[in-house]
Amino acid sequence: MARCSECQKEISDPKTESCLLDVIQIDDVFYHRSTFHFQEPSGRCLHCGIVHGKVHHFGCDVEQCPKCGLQVIGCGCVNDDNVGLFFISAVEGEEVKKPRYPRAHPPMLCVQEIPKEQRSDSGDLYGVFDLNFSAFHRGLSGVVLSRATIFSASRLMEAVKWGIERAREKLTV
């Protein structure tokens, strides 16, 4: 069984929900560590086993750098000379910045029927949602459009139109 090199918790133990060290210091600036990961059916990160919404074990390849937003294992902000990991209580009185959350992974867009209580006055029945960041990721029955990054608005609109047509086809069958 593997142990986290920083908090010494057993990574594969189902009782381990989070790494204990929730603040990272990069170049004398304190940041809250990233808690984001793709929602898996088990509710745990596939790489380090933490529960969704908790802090990754240091070195997990899913953890995002709070300074630049890229993956912490390859961004270049974090190295042995400029990093320290701390409990939040240990940095009391210090300003602790929130992490940045740009896209470390490409968006996964889908067209899905908008729940009645969330529809706007326009009466739109369908919307485009990003599965990675949306609250609609549970019980999703929409049409997945793309796992690749959409580079232009015109390509996005083409994908949306295609997705809406597919959704309408499903409804008329």
User: Residues 102-110: what's their mean pLDDT?
Assistant: 48
pLDDT one-digit tens code per residue, 44-74: 887 788 887 788 888 787 788 888 777 777 7
Q: Residue 154: CA atoms inside 13 Å, Cβ hemisphere, count?
A: 0
Three-state DSSP state, 164: helix
DSSP 63-100: PBPTTTSSBTTTSSS--TTTEEEE-GGGGTTS-EEPPP
> What is the reported pTM?
0.51
Beta strand 126-130 pairing with 109-113: antiparallel
**Strand (E) positions, the chain?**
23-26, 29-32, 83-86, 96-97, 109-113, 126-130, 143-146
Kindly provide the b/e burial profile for residues 108-140, where b requires at least 16 CB atoms within 10 angstroms of the residue's own CB: bbbbbeeeeeeeeeeeeebbbbebbebebeeee
Q: Residue 75: CA atoms inside 13 Å, Cβ hemisphere, count?
A: 18
Is 89 or 145 the better-scoring residue by pLDDT? 89
Q: Where are the domains of the chain?
A: 1-102, 109-172
Instruction: Check residue 149 and give its pLDDT.
Output: 37
d(C-alpha 34, C-alpha 165), whole Å = 37
pLDDT averaged over every residue in the chain: 67
Q: Which pLDDT band, with edges at 50, 70 and 90, does 23 fall under?
A: confident
Three-state DSSP state, 130: strand
User: Which of 52-56, 105-109, 110-114 is predicted with the least confidence, judged by mean pLDDT?
Assistant: 105-109
